[in-house]
Structures are given as C-alpha cells and as structure tokens.
Structure 1
C-alpha cells in the first residue's frame, strides 16, 4: 500500500507532503499505517471542503491499494475517524517544492 499526502492552506500557506509505502517502511510503522487507513473509514473518493472555511488546512490523501481512493478534506470537514491518520501523516510530511 502507498499513501500520498499533501497538506496545504492555512494562514501561511506552506505546502507539505509525503509518500509512504508499506513495502519500504519498517514493519511496525507499516502495520500502524495500514491500521490507521482502515480505521479512517476512507473508502471512496471525494472532495469534502467546507464552504465557510477560511485560513484552514486542507488535506489531500491518495491511498493506492486494491482500488485507489483519493479524498480531500479541510480542518472543518475532516471526519473524526480520519484524524489519527492525518496526524500520523502530518508528522512525516516535509515542505514541498513549487515546481
């Protein structure tokens, strides 16, 4: 399983991201990622941004597994079931280049 993550927006607007591949992560981290993806409840693609959101973080997650899923949330629309997964990914995200 591969998980692509992009965090953007907020007051400063810094873009951070990471790509995690369970095939290359250590066993404990790979198992934790798989557990968090399953617990997140993310099962179908979609964009779920709040209309009233300003200066909030936006999160794009693509899960490459049996059937790929891509979702986008912001701080206000992020389901509670996905918060632990997003926290795990945020800890591993690094600033991304602009081109």
Structure 2
C-alpha cells in the first residue's frame, strides 16, 4: 500500500508532503497503515469533501492511495474532516514530520 499525503493551507501557508509505502516501513507501522485506511473507509469516500462554511487558515489534505491495483484520491478540508478519517490524517502528519 502506498499513500501520497499533502497538507496545504493553515495560518502560515506551509505545505507538507510525504509518500508512505508499507514496503519501506517498520513492520508495526506497515500493519497499522492498512488498518487506518480501512477504518477510514477511504476507498468509499468522495473525491472532494468540503465544508458548507469554509474557514480561512484551515488545512486542506490530499491523500492518494494505491493498493493492489486500486487507486483513489480524496481531498478534504480540515473543517469537513470526517471523524473516521482523523486517525489516518494524524498518523500521516506524524510520519510527514519525520521526513
């Protein structure tokens, strides 16, 4: 499984990008990523999730997931972030900080 993760926006407008591939992760993280993707129902989410009340200086997240020949991209604003997606976003933010 491979995820390209990009966070843009925010108060300072600093973007953060990383690509995570389970083939390159330690075993416990390689097992955690697919679990988080499944719990988020990522492949069932629409391509764009926006808030009815856009707010300035909020983050925008873009996730592109590739797994076993399937591919799906989701772009979501922080204000519209579904609760099921939050653990995956937080995990990816932590990985992005390390790279």
User: Would you call these one fold, judging by a TM-score over 0.5?
Assistant: yes
Q: What secondary structure does 1:80 align onto?
A: coil
How much has 1:53 moved relative to structure 2? 2.3
Matched residue, 1:50 = 51
CA distance in structure 1 between the aligned counterparts of 2:83 and 2:58, rounded to whole angstroms: 16
CA distance in structure 1 between the aligned counterparts of 2:56 and 2:41, rounded to whole angstroms: 26
Gaps of 5+ in 1: 95-99
Give me the TM-score of the superposition, normalised by structure 2.
0.88
2:44 matches 1:41: no
CA distance in structure 2 between the aligned counterparts of 1:71 and 1:53, rounded to whole angstroms: 19
Matched residue, 1:68 = 71
Tell me which protein shows more helix as a share of its residues.
2
CA distance in structure 2 between the aligned counterparts of 1:12 and 1:84, rounded to whole angstroms: 23
RMSD in angstroms over aligned alpha carbons? 1.3
Give me the TM-score of the superposition, normalised by structure 1.
0.88
2:5 matches 1:2: no
Q: What count of residue pairs does the alignment treat as equivalent? A: 94
